[in-house]
Structure 1
Amino acid sequence: MRGRLGGIARHDRPRGAIETLDHVSVTRELGVRGDLRGAIRPGKSGRRQISLIEAESWEAALAELQPAPDHDLLWHVRRANLLVQGIRLPREAGKIIAIGQSLRIETTCECDPCNRMDEIHPGLKLALMPDWRGGVLGRVISDGDIAIGDEVRIEE
């Protein structure tokens, strides 16, 4: 099963503005370079180092919400780091997501939607809850430089 990387985003502080990128370095030390959550703090496991969401899951949530046409909800308001397209992300810990030539991410848990989602749009939290629509969290196990359009694969 193969998909594509459809988007890259980061934010440098809590509740900070989201910056979208065409390419970025992702490392075991820092996660998505420049992202608040990427660096693993001493004594922590890094299980929430990087977040990924499926474009198809985001679209399913929006179909349920049916936001007004003038209310544009782009994927990165979810505050995920990576948007993948055409591939179903693992729904269990310990699976490996490969992106581009060398980036490898080990899935650690579901990215449960928080109350912040309802601040963005009423009902968004509930729309993201079924079937891991909120995405997955993981830890970087192999560094890589990635760009929009890179291949995404699930490795066993």
Structure 2
Amino acid sequence: MGTPITLAGIAYRPIIKAAMQTKTQTMISKVAGVDGDARGKPGKRQVTVLSQMQWQQTCIELNTPLHWTVRRANLLIEGFTFDATMVGKQIKIAQLILLITGETDPCYKMDRQFQGLTKALTPDWRGGVCCTVLTDGRVKVGDLVQITS
């Protein structure tokens, strides 16, 4: 059956350009995205999701163990990697359902976090995916994650 996919982290930014804050549980809604996140307005990039395995590959390439929130994603999942075939699929965590709308393209701001990070995130969808919220839900670190068509 393989390793279960789990929610390994939750992060939000209370104001634009602020440092990411982490929490162990949160509400995620169609109206506000991750509770407390300044960028949670409805749209194709309402919630961003990062693969822990792909983040680890990035850190290995940079030869530096960076905390996942440096990427400025909202959710970190363990046991799964993203690629182009994921667009249009859904991520289900407890009652929450997210629709994957595309790749989270790394921008030049990543190099402000750590020099070389933009380039290291660029291949193989290492920057994660953008999502829109289809169904509101409360999630917590450790929840099982399902990827469905």
TM (norm. structure 1) is 0.89
SS at match of 2:5: strand
* 1:78 alignment partner in structure 2: 71
1:93 and 1:66 mapped to 2: Cα distance? 30
* 1:138 alignment partner in structure 2: 131
Q: Give 1:89 deviation, angstroms.
A: 3.4
Decide whether the 8 Å contact of 1:31 with 1:50 is kept in 2.
yes
2:58 and 2:107 mapped to 1: Cα distance? 14
Q: Give 1:15 deviation, angstroms.
A: 1.2
SS at match of 1:59: helix
Question: 2:146 corresponds to which letter in structure 1?
Answer: R
**Deviation string for 1:108-152 (max 9, x for gaps)?**
010001111111111011000001000000100001000000001
2:147 and 2:48 mapped to 1: Cα distance? 15
Percent identical across equivalent pairs? 40
**Deviation string for 1:6-35 (max 9, x for gaps)?**
000000222102110000000111110110
What's the RMSD between the two structures over aligned residues? 1.3
Decide whether the 8 Å contact of 2:82 with 2:125 is kept in 1.
no
1:90 and 1:62 mapped to 2: Cα distance? 18
Q: Give 1:154 deviation, angstroms.
A: 0.5
Q: Number of matched residues?
A: 146
Query: Is 1:65 the equivalent of 2:49?
Result: no
* 2:146 alignment partner in structure 1: 153
Query: Is 1:104 the equivalent of 2:97?
Result: yes
2:109 and 2:127 mapped to 1: Cα distance? 12
Decide whether the 8 Å contact of 1:107 with 1:136 is kept in 2.
yes
Decide whether the 8 Å contact of 2:54 with 2:81 is kept in 1.
no
Decide whether the 8 Å contact of 1:106 with 1:138 is kept in 2.
yes
TM (norm. structure 2) is 0.93
Q: Which moved more, 1:90-99 or 1:72-81?
A: 90-99
* 1:93 alignment partner in structure 2: 87
Question: 2:70 corresponds to which letter in structure 1?
Answer: V
Decide whether the 8 Å contact of 1:90 with 1:107 is kept in 2.
no
Decide whether the 8 Å contact of 1:51 with 1:138 is kept in 2.
yes
Question: 1:135 corresponds to which letter in structure 2?
Answer: G
Question: 2:68 corresponds to which letter in structure 1?
Answer: W
Question: 2:35 corresponds to which letter in structure 1?
Answer: R
